[in-house]
Structures are given as structure tokens and as C-alpha cells.
Amino acid sequence: MALPHDRDRIDFATYKPQHFLWSLDRKVATITLNRPERKNPLTFESYAELRDLFRALAHGEAVKAVVITGAGGNFCSGGDVHEIIGPLVRMQEAGDTQGLLDFTRMTGDLVKAMRACPQVIVAAIDGICAGAGAILAMASDLRLGTAASKVAFLFTRVGLAGADMGACNMLPRLIGAGRAADLLYTGRAMDGAEAERWGFYNRLCAPHAVLDEALTLAAQLAHGPTFAHAMTKRCLHQEWDMDIDTAIEAEAQAQAICMQTRDFGRAYYAFVERRKPVFAGN
């Protein structure tokens, strides 16, 4: 079902999306792209539903961390050739410039929503991770991959710019400008070992374990100081445009806000009492 417009009526425990799978277990939500017979490509509808979901998660108190993965041994093969690329070509042939721009803005809005939602997003990546799938991985906060996975920003291979959904802004910050240029100009795939060496993956996992390790990491974060995690995510995103003096002041204000949470006191008293703190995200 589509997300309701009234965010107060969203029940993430019972939410049932139309275009992917969703589950919520002990504060950790799992999004599974679920078209395994096609390597989990995106459609106009799944783009929009993912965008709306991540926007709604800004108000999802029951969800403290998110894992995104793909079914059937692949992450995501990008935009569906028949259900997205074909229609876009027909828009081009019809001179529908506004329709093309509406689509590219909508896909960019998905990345904006992922970066704006307060929950840490962990991508569990195996198999093919290409095109828009590579963007979903890039837009996540942490990426766990496998040695056999293939990550490709293949837009240039279909006659498009590597400048798609924020790739020219975000990818150089993750792996460096020269390495990003290599991938965005050539559209070539990097395997898991290269992706980890370049810093795109935070770590490599065995294929049978990548989802479990992502869920374990997400659960660890979900049971930590989640208000502070959300502040870290916001600062990591906003400080890209700041000089160092502005960033230091922004972080001083952010940390002073975090010091007003009960979690700060919980950590102190747990240390004094020589026990593990139990955080509540407030």
C-alpha cells in the first residue's frame, strides 16, 4: 500500500509497501528490493515509494536503524530497462523535456530523503550493484559488501553523464576525486576487494553472512545513542559546504544539544557504576 499523507497515521510495524519488502524487528527496519528474476531493478513506482518511505522515516520513532538489501543474491541492477529506460527514450523522442526533468528530480529526491532521514542506513551488498543501485549504496551511511559483488556507476554506458543523483558530489568524498572520475567516466565495475580498498565498502563479508552482519551492525546502532547518531549524520552531511571554523562552531552547538539528552547522563553514571550503559535515544 502507498504511504498515507498523514504521517501520524503511519504504523511502521504493519506497513506493507507495494514495490519492495519491509520488516521491522527490534528497532531495525529491513528494506529488501524484491525482483530477483531481474536482479532487483527499480521502476518509476519503486523509486517514488522508496522516496516517500525515507521521507516518512524522519518521523518514524519506532525505527532506529535501516538495512537495505536485495533478494536472490543481487543488490540492485539499476533502473529497469523496459519499465524506465524505454519510457524515457520515448519521452525524449516526443520532446518531453519536462517529463525527463521530473523523473531525474524524483530520483534525486530519493537520495535527498535518504540523507535527510535521521536513521543510519546500512547497505548489505552482494552480486550486482549497478546504476541507480550503486547510487542507493552510495547514499547509505555504511556499506557492507562481498568479494564477488560488482559495483558500477554505468550511466555513461547508456549515453548519460556520470552526474546522476548526486554521484559527482558524494562519490569523490567517499573514494577520492581521481577514483570517482575513473568509475564515472568509464562506467566500469569494481569488485568487492577494490571497493573495500578504495573505501566504498566499510568491510567485506562472506555472501552468506553479509545480511546478518549488516543487521547486527544496525542493531548495535539502533540500541545506541540514536539521537546522537542522528546528529552525527546531520553534521556529516551539512559540513560538506562549511569551512573549518564554521564546522567547528556547528559541532560545538550540536554537541551541546547532545549533552542535554538523558543518554549523556546515562553513559556517565554507567561508567561510574562500572556497567554497560543502556541508551534510549533521548
Q: pLDDT tens digit string along 47-71? A: 999 999 999 999 988 999 999 999 9
Q: pLDDT tens digit string along 60-104? A: 889 999 999 999 999 999 998 888 989 999 999 999 999 999 999
pLDDT of residue 10: 75
> What is the average pLDDT score of the chain?
93
What distance in Å separates the CA atoms of residue 25 and residue 117, rounded to the nearest whole number?
Answer: 19
Q: pLDDT tens digit string along 140-193? A: 999 999 999 999 999 999 899 999 999 999 999 999 999 999 999 999 999 999
Q: Which three cell numbers stand for residue 30?
A: 529491513
Q: Which three cell numbers stand for residue 129?
A: 550493484
Q: Residue 12 above 80 pLDDT?
A: yes
151 near 137, Cβ under 8 Å? yes
What distance in Å separates the CA atoms of residue 217 and residue 195, rounded to the nearest whole number?
Answer: 19
Q: Residue 1 above 60 pLDDT?
A: no
Q: Which three cell numbers stand for residue 197?
A: 580498498
Q: Above pLDDT 70, what percent of the chain? A: 97
Q: pLDDT tens digit string along 214-250? A: 999 999 999 999 999 999 999 999 998 899 999 999 9
Q: Residue 197 above 90 pLDDT?
A: yes
17 near 53, Cβ under 8 Å? yes
pLDDT of residue 9: 59
Give residue for cell 546478518. Answer: 212
Residue 7: pLDDT band with limits 50, 70, 90: very low
pLDDT of residue 207: 97
Q: Residue 3 above 90 pLDDT?
A: no
Amino acid at position 54, single letter: F
CA 188 centroid distance within chain: 22
CA 115 centroid distance within chain: 7
Dihedral of alpha carbons 170, 167, 190, 129, sign: positive
Q: Residue 37 above 50 pLDDT?
A: yes
Domain architecture of the chain: domains with CATH: 7-222 (3.90.226.10), 226-272 (1.10.12)
Q: Report the relative pairing of strands 142-146 and 203-205 from DSSP bridges.
A: parallel
pLDDT of residue 33: 98
Q: Report the relative pairing of strands 28-33 and 142-146 from DSSP bridges.
A: unpaired
DSSP 85-130: IHHHHHHHHTT-HHHHHHHHHHHHHHHHHHHHSSSEEEEEE-SEEE
pLDDT of residue 2: 46
pLDDT of residue 82: 87
65 near 222, Cβ under 8 Å? yes
- Residues 17-24: what's their mean pLDDT? 97
Q: Which of 257, 270, 256 minimizes the C-alpha distance to 224? A: 270
Amino acid at position 196, single letter: E
